[in-house]
Structure 1
């Protein structure tokens, strides 16, 4: 494909989830100029393996000028403070591996990625990347994703706020939001009961955040049943493709 026909800079957008990694190349208007690739997450997953996997996917796509990567966990200035899935032996909710925990803690993913691919890199929490392409820049906007677990992002007047791992906060019965709303619980409970839990989570979070606008995305957003959606008239449901397609706008919202 002729990259000269697309307005630059061209951005490699990578969305890293608990089960799969998706990547594509976007022009300056966030238009996808190549078919998206998807690879399953290979566990166990040290940082070096994730870097090699992303580099391998990049070789299959058109050339690009920079990369935006979203991944689960607490990411601060491109450094992994904590990631919940990639420290586990066989995937989400399996036993953490001490060696992986030490490898991931304080790992400079942004610096390593930039060095690996020889382009500027931006690494954020995956929900923050997804939110970047959705928000309007008006007021306080809260974005939540429902998938393997709960992801959240907060944007104040078009600026990403410091990331809070709301998913790890206690929700009920000594369990976290992640424990109560994750895919494992949706499968166990069924969509109707799980949807009522999502509604309860929103009711609990609103007094703490008092957002002006709320967006709900992620692979399981479509699983929320109509009876619960009717009780969320102000919620905006968004496409699950936002994790990749938001890679362009994430640069401006993060001040880069």
Structure 2
């Protein structure tokens, strides 16, 4: 395997329900410019989000590749669902092609939790990343490789609620932090029972509101911890597929 260099640079964009964040990384995932953000436009239509991205990266230094984390299910660069942006407007949008046209660079688009997962996992065994924010994001990885994305957020966790409705921002605001923590304890126990993971990483704006002790194989990470996933998304080009 060839040694990683910092020859190429990757613009990494994290599209969220409340903000769009971006930075430029080298191949090792190190920031080459400040981590900046802009408010997600409302309405958050594809056209408005693309305009916001163009504004956000206008003054960025040169880059060679683009990695994008999107809050929904993405298949071969095409958006299938966008629950926190408006699935109706986004469904069928070829976001990879739209961004390729906009930025004039090769683009790869994956689910936002998947992108973060690539940046934070140790690459040993079965690891899960969850994000607690506007909704509930999940990424599954085995020995550092992404497994097929599951929209666990939309699986029922109670008779009438899916995970987004049960522990997302709206639920937190409605039931309060104490009851939300009780719900989170239930969710984490479900993850243990269903997945029997080796390690779990918890990220997102609401991760800091967890008030109960976590198991020794669980860590809270920041969104910035996962930003280097933007570089990992292109590692097959940089160092080949041999591991």
What's the TM-score, normalizing by structure 2?
0.90
Deviation of 1:48 (Å) = 2.1
Equivalent residue for 1:94? none
Deviation of 1:8 (Å) = 2.5
The 5-angstrom pairing of residues 101-116 of structure 1 reads 101=88, 103-116=89-102
Deviation of 1:164 (Å) = 0.5
Cα 1:82–1:253 shift into 2, 3 Å = farther
For residues 70 and 253 of structure 1, the distance between their equivalents in structure 2, rounded to whole angstroms, comes to 18
Residue-by-residue CA offset, 1:121-161 (whole Å, 9 max, x unaligned): 11111101111110111111111010111000001122111
Residue-by-residue CA offset, 1:192-223 (whole Å, 9 max, x unaligned): 22122111011112222221111111111111
For residues 60 and 20 of structure 2, the distance between their equivalents in structure 1, rounded to whole angstroms, comes to 14
Please tell me whether residue 31 in structure 1 is matched to residue 33 in structure 2. Answer: no
Partner of 1:194, secondary structure, is helix
Question: Which of the residues 228, 231, 234 maps onto 1:248?
Answer: 231
Equivalent residue for 2:218? 235
The 5-angstrom pairing of residues 14-163 of structure 1 reads 14-87=13-86, 101=88, 103-163=89-149
For residues 247 and 10 of structure 1, the distance between their equivalents in structure 2, rounded to whole angstroms, comes to 10
Partner of 2:79, secondary structure, is strand
- CA-based RMSD of the aligned residues comes to 2.0
Deviation of 1:233 (Å) = 3.0
Q: Which runs of 5+ in 1 are unaligned?
A: 1-5, 88-99
For residues 212 and 252 of structure 1, the distance between their equivalents in structure 2, rounded to whole angstroms, comes to 24
For residues 35 and 155 of structure 2, the distance between their equivalents in structure 1, rounded to whole angstroms, comes to 34
Partner of 2:205, secondary structure, is coil
Moved more, 206-215 or 72-81: 206-215
Partner of 1:148, secondary structure, is coil
Deviation of 1:110 (Å) = 1.0
How many aligned positions are there?
Answer: 235
Q: Is the 8 A contact 2:84 2:135 kept in 1?
A: no
For residues 244 and 49 of structure 1, the distance between their equivalents in structure 2, rounded to whole angstroms, comes to 23
Moved more, 167-176 or 245-254: 245-254
What's the TM-score, normalizing by structure 1?
0.86
For residues 47 and 184 of structure 1, the distance between their equivalents in structure 2, rounded to whole angstroms, comes to 23
